[in-house]
């Protein structure tokens, strides 16, 4: 019996040693340790043996089982390690082979910059408002101190939606100033992002459809200095650096006094293409809200005494900010819907 066990042991260990895969090891386990394996067979013979031999055979078989299990486990570990090692050094490695392309999607660059602007203003406590793009002449012009036949209507090439000109494609986001005054209670601070329309010939720098951000602050004691301070803080935040601003006269019928606000060119120190060499970039039209506009907006409100109120308003173009940020040279790309353009701004 001892010989038999020894021969089984040698045989099994040889097969373990020769194993080239986990399957081989499983086969060894089955052949020797399985229900009908060699060890089981020996254990089955035990009752037929002499009592003296029984104990020896039992111990031998168990020992063989332990030895085999250990050998198989060790061989398995070695095989797995070899496999892992083989995987590590697979060879033929070329990281420049094109990656499996991930699908791309993204926000329009206008949306991206608009969100930046919105988050700066909301951090300063401004509410974001929306308004209709097809607007009543009343809101777009009349309530903004631009009566019918006012010469400043010439400044804005308006798309009219009907022959008697009661409905227009809004030429500015300013009509929402009036809509805000009609329902909000001062003091308040709002911005109004949105698309606006002017009947202009299109070229690389002119579009008939573009985007504006309107700002309106109404309260008691609002002064010119509040306007410059606010826009300076905004621009510093937007461009990430301290920038000087200046006011100069500008004419917009819905503000009095009215200004143009210039900002020191964020792109140069001594003059460049963006600022046409002047180091100043025209940023927006702004001013103190005209008393006629406050009267038009709050006039029907019994809870608001508009004579006590002052306010400031500003409006700037988003498209030019987008073009400056990304270096876009043709405004028409913005509305072109071409993926070769849109995919350049993943975000």
Q: Which of residues 117-176 bind other proteins (CB under 8 A)?
A: 122, 125-130, 132-136, 149, 151-152, 154-155, 159-163, 166-167, 169
How far apart are CB 25 and other proteins at their closest, in Å?
A: 31
Q: Quick one: which of 172, 216, 230, 306 contacts other proteins (CB under 8 A)?
A: 230
Q: Which helix (H) or strand (E) holds 287?
A: strand 280-289
Q: What interhelical angle do 38-45 and 2-18 show, nearest 10?
A: 170
Q: Is the peptide bond before 257 cis (omega within 30 degrees of 0)?
A: yes
Of 67, 142, 228, 236, the one binding other proteins (CB under 8 A) is 228
Segment 75 to 104, residues that bind other proteins, using CB under 8 A: 103-104
Q: At what angle do helices 109-123 and 318-326 cross, to 10 degrees?
A: 110
State yes or no: residue 223 binds other proteins (CB under 8 A). yes
For other proteins, give the closer residue by CB, 108 or 301. Answer: 108
The C-alpha atoms of residue 288 and residue 314 are separated, in whole angstroms, by: 9
226 near other proteins (CB under 8 A): yes
Q: Which of 229, 241, 299, 330 binds other proteins (CB under 8 A)?
A: 229
User: For residues 66 and 202, which CB has a smaller minimum distance to other proteins in the complex?
Assistant: 202
Q: Which is nearer to other proteins, 31 or 260 (CB)?
A: 260
R_g of the chain, CA atoms, integer Å: 41
- CA triple 83-14-38, angle to 5 deg: 110
**Residue 288 found at the interface with other proteins (CB under 8 A):** yes
Residue 27 backbone zone (phi > 0: left; psi -120 to 50: alpha; other: beta): alpha
Place of tokens 């951090």: 123
CB 314 within 8 A of CB 261: yes
241 binds other proteins (CB under 8 A): no
For residue 195, state whether it binds other proteins (rule: CB under 8 A).
yes
Binding to other proteins (CB under 8 A) within 99-118 occurs at 103-108, 110-111, 115
Q: Does 335 bind other proteins (CB under 8 A)?
A: yes
Cβ proximity to other proteins, 55 vs 248, nearer residue: 248
Rule CB under 8 A: is residue 180 a binding residue for other proteins? Answer: no
- CB-nearer residue toward other proteins: 35 or 183: 183
Nearest residue to 219 (alpha-carbon basis) of 324, 311, 140? 311
Long-range contacts of 321-329 (CB under 8 A, 24+ apart): 321/113, 321/117, 321/238, 322/109, 322/110, 322/112, 322/113, 324/266, 324/267, 324/274, 325/109, 325/113, 326/109, 328/109, 329/204
| Cβ at position 150, least distance to other proteins in Å | 9
Nearest approach in angstroms of CB 122 to other proteins is: 6
272 binds other proteins, rule: CB under 8 A: no
Give residue for tokens 């004579």. 307
Q: Between 32 and 234, name the residue whose CB sits nearer to other proteins.
A: 234
Do 187 and 313 meet the contact criterion of CB atoms below 8 Å apart?
A: no
Positions 5 through 64 that interact with other proteins (CB under 8 A): none
Burial class of residue 39, CB neighbours in 10 A (0-12, 13-18, 19+): buried
Is residue 183 within the footprint of other proteins (CB under 8 A)? no
Residue 291 lies near other proteins (rule: CB under 8 A): yes
- For other proteins, give the closer residue by CB, 37 or 193: 193
Q: State the nearest-atom distance from the C-beta of 116 to other proteins, in Å.
A: 13
CB of 121 to other proteins, least distance (A): 9
């Amino acid at each position: 019996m001892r010989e038999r066990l020894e021969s089984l042991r040698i045989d099994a260990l040889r097969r373990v040693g020769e194993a080239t895969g986990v399957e081989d090891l499983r086969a060894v386990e089955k052949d020797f340790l399985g229900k009908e394996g060699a060890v089981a067979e020996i254990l089955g013979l035990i009752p037929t043996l002499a009592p003296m031999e029984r104990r020896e055979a039992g111990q031998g078989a168990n020992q063989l089982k332990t030895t085999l299990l250990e050998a198989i486990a060790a061989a398995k570990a070695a095989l797995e390690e070899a496999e892992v090692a083989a995987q590590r050094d697979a060879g033929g490695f070329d990281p420049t082979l094109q990656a499996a392309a991930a699908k791309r999607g993204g926000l329009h660059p206008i949306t991206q910059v608009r969100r930046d602007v919105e988050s700066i203003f909301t951090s300063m406590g401004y509410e974001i408002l929306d308004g209709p793009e097809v607007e009543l002449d009343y809101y777009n012009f009349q309530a903004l101190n631009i009566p019918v036949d006012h010469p400043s209507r010439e400044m804005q090439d308006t798309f009219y939606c009907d022959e008697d000109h009661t409905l227009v494609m809004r030429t500015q986001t300013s009509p929402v100033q009036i809509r805000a005054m009609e329902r909000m209670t001062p003091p308040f601070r709002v911005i109004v992002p949105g698309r606006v329309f002017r009947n202009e010939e299109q070229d690389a720098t002119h579009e008939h459809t573009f985007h504006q951000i309107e700002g309106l602050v109404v309260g008691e004691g609002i002064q010119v200095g509040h306007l410059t301070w606010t826009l300076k803080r905004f621009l510093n935040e937007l461009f990430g650096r301290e920038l000087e601003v200046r006011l100069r006269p500008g004419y917009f019928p819905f503000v009095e006094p009215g200004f143009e606000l210039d900002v020191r060119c964020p792109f140069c120190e001594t003059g460049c293409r963006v600022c046409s060499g002047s180091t100043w970039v025209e940023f927006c039209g702004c001013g103190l809200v005209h008393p006629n506009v406050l009267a038009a907006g709050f006039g029907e409100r019994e809870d608001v005494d508009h004579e006590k109120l002052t306010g400031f308003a500003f409006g700037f173009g988003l498209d030019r900010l987008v073009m400056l940020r990304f270096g876009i040279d043709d405004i028409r790309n913005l509305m072109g819907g071409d993926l070769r353009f849109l995919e350049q701004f993943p975000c």
